[in-house]
Amino acid sequence: MKKTNTFKKALIYIIIGLLSITFILPFIWMLRSSLMELQQIFIMPPQWIPNPVKLENYIHALTIVPFALYFKNTMIILILGMVGTLITSTLSAYSFARLRWKGRDFWFKVILTSMMLPGAVTLIPQFLGWNALGMVGSFVPLIVPAFFGGGAFNIFLLRQFYMSIPLELDEAAIVDGASFFRIYTSIILPLSRSAIIVIAIFSFMFYWNDFMGPLIYLTDESKYTLAIGLQMFQGAYNTRWEELMAASTSIILPCVLIFIIGQKYFLEGITMSGLKG
């Protein structure tokens, strides 16, 4: 019995080890390609450690296409989008979780169902609407929706979290004469810090990675985001693999850093979304 157990354990470690290496390999391959000379990266059997280390690839890749401008554009959309998401999703979730009003459950169900809706169905009319308002080509269509609830998924996640806060706190505050807005700002928000960080991280990832939105709405090259810029770069320099990998590494790096810092919140958020009540 004991023997089979150690055998089983060893087998598990071997499989996990091999799979982990396979999962990390693309990152390592990207990183080493980004630091090499173009001729070197093709040599087989592959050279794993770059020699010499060519940091110039990064400088070249990030300046040949105006990535600094794309970074600025991305940050404008990202910051405003995050502000809208955080304000309206917390406020709506507070109302759905803790205030009693007629029609509440109906609206919550409706909004929840919209989560399952394929985004492609609303794509064309949304575009036509923004086009009619003369907003296509600006950041507005990418930012404004965030101020309208900040996404059904986030509202759902926050509502779950708010419902775990004892209701007595609100009741006590009402007896003391606090307004509902006051309860939201001084009880609910401070007590749901971790859930808010989860939302902040997810919405950061969303805006940083979003491709289809900017592709459709941003027509002028000076308005491009990083994701679109990287794709343009690939289209124009599709054989400069070393620089392409340098640009890719640069775009991935902030995500990896946020993941390392906020790992706990990532896992929490995903788990909350999967194990719904």
Partner 1 sequence: MSGLSGDVISGKQTIRNKKVKSNEQFFGILFALPAILGFLIFVLGPMIASLIYSFTDYSLFNKPTFIGLQNYKDFFSGTDPFFYKSLLVTFYYVLLNVPATIIFSFFIALLLNNEIKGRPLFRAIFYLPSIVPAVASAMIWMWLLNPDLGLVNNILSALHLPTSQWLFAEKSVIPSVVLTGLWTTGGTMVIFLAGLSGIPTVYYEAVEIDGGNSFHKFFNVTLPMVSPTIFFNTIMAIISSFQVFTQAYILTQGGPNNASLFYVFLLWREGFKNTRMGYASALAWILFIIILLLTMLTFRSSNSLVYYEGERKNS
Enumerate residues 193-222 that contact partner 1 by CB under 8 A: 205, 208-209, 211-212, 215-216
Is 153 a binding residue for partner 1 by CB under 8 A? The answer is no
Question: Is residue 277 within the footprint of partner 1 (CB under 8 A)?
Answer: no
Take residue 197 and report the two structure tokens written for it. 């960080």
CB of 237 to partner 1, least distance (A): 11
Residues 224-263 within binding reach of partner 1 (CB under 8 A)? 227, 230-231, 234, 241, 244-245, 247-248, 251-252, 255-256, 258-259, 263
**Which one, 8 or 72, has the nearer CB to partner 1?**
8
Site for partner 1 in 1-20 (CB under 8 A): 9, 12-13, 15-16, 19-20
**Quick one: which segment of 57-65, 147-155, 160-168, 192-200 binds partner 1 (CB under 8 A)?**
147-155
Residue from 3, 118, 176, 190 in contact with partner 1 (CB under 8 A): 118
Residues with Cβ < 8 Å from 237, sequence gap 6 or more? 64, 243, 244
Q: Confirm or reject binding of residue 161 to partner 1 (CB under 8 A).
A: no
> Is residue 45 close enough to count as binding partner 1 by CB under 8 A?
yes
* Residues in contact with partner 1, shown as a per-residue x/- string from 54 to 93 under the rule CB under 8 A: ----------------------------------xx-xx-
Is 48 a residue that touches partner 1 (CB under 8 A)?
A: no
Candidate segments 53-61, 64-72, 178-186, 189-197, binder of partner 1 by CB under 8 A? 178-186
**Number of residues near partner 1 (by CB under 8 A):** 94
For partner 1, the binding residue among 47, 63, 181, 186 (CB under 8 A) is 181
Shortest reach from residue 59's CB to partner 1, in Å? 19
Q: Write down the least CB distance from residue 104 to partner 1, Å.
A: 6
With binding defined as CB under 8 A, does residue 134 bind partner 1? Answer: no
- Rounded Cα–Cα distance for residues 167 and 181 (Å): 15
Is residue 164 part of the contact set for partner 1 (CB under 8 A)?
no
Degrees to nearest 5, angle at CA 51 with 253 and 46: 85
Question: Treating both helix axes as pointing N-terminal to C-terminal, what angle do 193-209 and 226-236 enclose, rounded to 10 degrees?
Answer: 30
Quick check: bond before 254 cis, omega within 30? no
Q: Which is nearer to partner 1, 28 or 53 (CB)?
A: 28
Q: Select the residue interacting with partner 1 from 3, 100, 166, 220 (CB under 8 A).
A: 100
- The closest alpha carbon to 159, from 107, 82, 223, belongs to 107
